Structure 1
Amino acid sequence: MKRYAVCGVSKRAIGMFITPMINNFSHTAKLVGMLDIDNKRFEVCKEQIPETEAVPTFNNWEFERMVKETNPDVVIVTSRDDTHVDYIIAALEQDLDVITEKPMATTAVDCQRIMDAEQKSNGKVTVTFNYRYSPYHMKIKELILEGKIGKITSVDLNWYIDTYHGSSYFQRWNRQRELSGGLSIHKSSHHFDLVNWWLDQTPVEVFSFGARNYYGDESPWNPKKEDGRYCITCDVSDSCPYYMRWNTRSNSATVKDDHIDSDLKRRDGYTNYRTDQCIFDSEIEIEDTYTATVKYDKGALLSYSINFSLPYEGYRLAINGTKGRIETMEYHAPSRVPFPTPTQVIEYYPLFGSKETIHVVEREGGHGGGDPVIQEDIFLGADPNRHYDILSGSKDGAYAVTTGEAVWKSVKHKQPFFIEDLLAGKAITNG
């Protein structure tokens, strides 16, 4: 029986870790402590999961006290992105294992600090990159390992975020780079890790372009240049196409939030946290559109793009190799897509021969059926019947974050960046 303490009682923490721990893994896992900046989060957790009523709670500055009083074996980090590094290092200094949400940190330098701390510790870091666990993504990994496409030469990955999901990042703290690292880290690190894992190669160099096309005060969709508006009280919401796409004039603002309960009445009382900030505020500085090229140590090239304001959500993927090609396309959140969507399949094209269409057995559960499987690996240990590694460690987390940092820095400085230079904190820019 392992003992777990949670730092950051977010909606993600409750849904991804605490609820499964209580409902599915109580024979191997025990929640012994919860830490957060806001007591209301404890109230919400205990209301939703009565079994946590007696679990001790601690303020965000009481980490050492929590460890001393609750004696955990593992610390789960699900707090705001920029706070991950502090809790991870504090846990490693106590020789505790760490399970952290992505991104592991918000800068390459902090990722290196984590890896250095892990080297000195008896604890180890696991990063919960659950995209790896989608049955489609696992099948692609298996096809690559079987040698179906030979040596991988290039990857094309185009990711699409719809206006509902995409605008949500600009309504909350993610829009501040110092808190999230920007979306090339907060969101794209998921995608970079997935490609790194499929390739089993290490990213070396990144060059990218990017822009802010949809959000901020210069957006062509901004109905009024005025800072400080909130969706729930906005006097021009009827003229905001992002709001009206998902709402009517008579209902309350609908806000997507992966981190806390998104009921606006519930939100009252959360410390310094609003999920309905105006997506056209002038303080917004992060980009909403990227294209990037990534070079890998064994010769593969990645062509990547992501756009945070599109009519539908999903991705298109092609992986090319010396023996063939794999293609797939997925539509996420089909209930938000204004047209019928096909069932996802994987298309395999041998370099010389006929196409094969591969149908994958889908699973129930969040993030495309991946969440229940990663939860089993976390709380029960890796599946002994799986013949390849899938859980991510600190190195995986570091390369995903550093690739994302290289993307936004390349946009800013108009030059390529080397991954190892960023990790070492010695990247040179032209200005």
Structure 2
Amino acid sequence: MTGRLVERGDAGYDEARRVWNGMIDVHPVAVARAGSIRDIDLVLAAAQRTGLPLAVRGGGHNIAGHGTVEDGLVLDLGELRGVVVDPANQLVSVEPGATLADLDRATTRHGLAVPSGVVSATGVAGLALGGGIGWMTRSDGLTLDNLDSADVVTAACDHLHASEEENAELFWGLRGGGGNFGVVSSFTFRARRLPSLVLAGNLFYRRPRWESALSAFAGWAHALPDEMTPIVTFMVLPPEFGMGDDPWMTVGFAWISEDHRAGLALVDRLRSAAPPDAEEAGPTPWPVWQSAMDSVFPRGSRGYWKNVSFSRLDEEVVGVLVELASGITWRGTGIDVHHLEGAFGRVPEEATAFPNRSARFWLNVYGFWRDPGEDERLTAFARHVHARMQPFAEHGEYVNFLGAEDAHDPVEAARRAYGREKHHRLVALKNRYDPQNLFRLNHNVLPTPV
């Protein structure tokens, strides 16, 4: 290897085995920290020769903890963080260990951005392979919608280039199917022009205003131009926000256009319909806005997430959401409602493996606590929110917002996430590229038994 092999008993082993979710506390036999792309072949060959279960780790931010494995071998790509920007063609090549912070730092120097998530410590690889919902979803779609091509190392150590023109079916599966088909050694994204300062901010509402504010938001969201992406959040905000210990409803927004006056006029419409109790808004450097919520998800937090897609935001659904959010009286859990449509919704359903393009909203309920004694109570709350929203749910689940609790029945879990038709197509890809299921530490698509 050009990198390092960290085994049990070695200095740095405990740090090497850790992932973002503090609930995941397992002990691999060894962590292979790749120093170059060619180390990937060596680690894959070692896993197959020894029969050790293999975990592949990019940024290590996966909520389900798939970046590590008990008594197995971890391929850690976290030191491969290079980002190369071709500003003339608006293309960006990204190594598999890069984070959103690495990506944003490189692209904004050239007045460009690649649509991504909302926490800068997130790994680009896992985000892109699963989806990539964030502050540019309505203006430019998911992260995977902006993937131009990918270089993949398969279980047979074949090095393949996947794009719309080459290995097109594999390219389809990579965009939403996660790490089921190989290790992506390089991503190439299409970037978009971005103003040096974006208009972004938050409108904050105390509990008595939630029903009226959420109903006003529902009306406002019906006529939004693509340039506006809002996210509604319910939580007790971190202390550094200076908002006290009570829960807040926040309407966060990013306006991806140089015409800030038009964006402010749009925000004024919501402000007039639902006057906030507090607010912050103005021109903001993109990396600053992209990292604004980092403190909510510190490394080592104990985490458990569930998600549901839906399209109604009428009086009944508003009432249910407010009832559920009113149950959050502690610092350590949040509910996000991502407003979709726009560019996201115009991608044909069959174009990628992402499970649902018709939903108007995607809810994520998540935890970020420290005390193991809270595990049962706070995971139960997330499950309750998920169950309570089922009468309004549409098909599909977003794998980047899923924990690992369905590992006892991976076939049904994958069918539920992707839907029967897409799951069938993903199984065919798995049979072709990973028939022995080497890449099973993910939201696993099982190959057909031989």
Alignment TM-score > 0.5, same fold: no
Shorter-chain TM band? under 0.3
TM-score by length of 2: 0.26
Q: 1 or 2 for the larger relative contact order (CA 8 Å, sep ≥6)?
A: 1
